[in-house]
Structure 1
Amino acid sequence: MLLCTYITCQQCCIHTALCLFCKVYRAPKPKWTQLSGRRLQNWGGLPNPKGMLAEKLPDWLLKYTEKISALGTFAGKTANHVLVNEYKPGEGIMPHEDGPLYHPTVTTLSLGSHTLLDFYKPVCQTQSETPQTEESRYMLSLLVQRRSLLILQDDMYKFYLHGIHGVCEDILSEHVVDLSSTGAQVGNKLPRGTRVSLTIRHVPKVIWTNLLLGKK
């Protein structure tokens, strides 16, 4: 499921200081963690099988977690965890799944640049004569536009991997399944800019501290 133009151009440009994009870059420098192919901010706590030690989300994120939760995406629960990822041209992320620590829905708000999100079949655990390469497991792509909200759930969340190739330019193919709704065409070449994504999720198992609950 892909909802396009979730944030209108007017909302983005009312005032630079209020822009969500700017709020991301006003976060304290220690919030950034550099990884291979991207850097990120973690908000809400660190998910853990024993329970996430919950941290209060800042107001500038709460506005969007509450709006997205109101869509019913988390089965009546409210999102409590946000990963802010920054991808510069040429950066990406290997095919992966989000795993069992989250409610089986992931929502991603995209700012800045577009990207192509690729989907793959998982590696088969049984022996096969055919090599299970990334190319052979590739299924389809989505053109994720800026200011769009992407909602992945059900089979697309549970059974398939997703990733982003680290390229500076995307060449659209017939495997991009949402071309008709984006106005783009097969063969179009789309240079990438810097993209900031807010991955908003609900972590069911949390540990609340007395400080967060307002107790002394």
Structure 2
Amino acid sequence: MEIDPELLEPSLRYKLLIGSVVPRPIAFVSSLSPQGVANLAPFSYFNAVGHIPLALMFSVSLKPDGSEKDTLRNVRPPSEGGTGEYVINLAIESYAHQVAECAEPLPYGESEFDYVNLSPAPSKVVKPPRVAESPVAFECRTLQIVPVGQFHVVIGQVVHLFVRDDVLGDRNRIDSDKLGAIGRMAGYEYCRTGDRFEIPNGFPKPAES
């Protein structure tokens, strides 16, 4: 089947996208309003940008009424009314239900930390708190926000990392089993990251026919 996305309703494009681009890592973003209220929200349009400098990106949609979500308002630089700082926590299996619950909208000024009973912990460099239960937390400062239609791609530089001692092995290698990260599939489905396989370096090439 050949498909022109411009001929599809947005809801159908969405289904094709989230059903095909899988699994998607989940950025569990904690931010702080200028008034000092902590916000926590998951975003599965999320990935690494690069490591020189160490940078991450996530994409935020607008609300149905066209206004900005709390996270986007908070991570904007101070000149645009935000704080310009945030923390990307990992989405892990032990609090997967809380990750999903944080996708539900709360009135601006109410904290999801209280709503889902997760613990805020002080960050080292930025003002927004990290999720204490997260095994890894990336403290970020906003580098750039790129509008793309009804979405905004937030690019941030990592200025500090928290890594729980038990997940960090030799040579700064993360123990994937102890990490327990989850990914987003389509609809209400998530996936675990415990089923993995290796492709050894220098594996034999297929014989030519």
TM-score range, shorter chain: under 0.3
TM-score, scaled relative to structure 1: 0.22
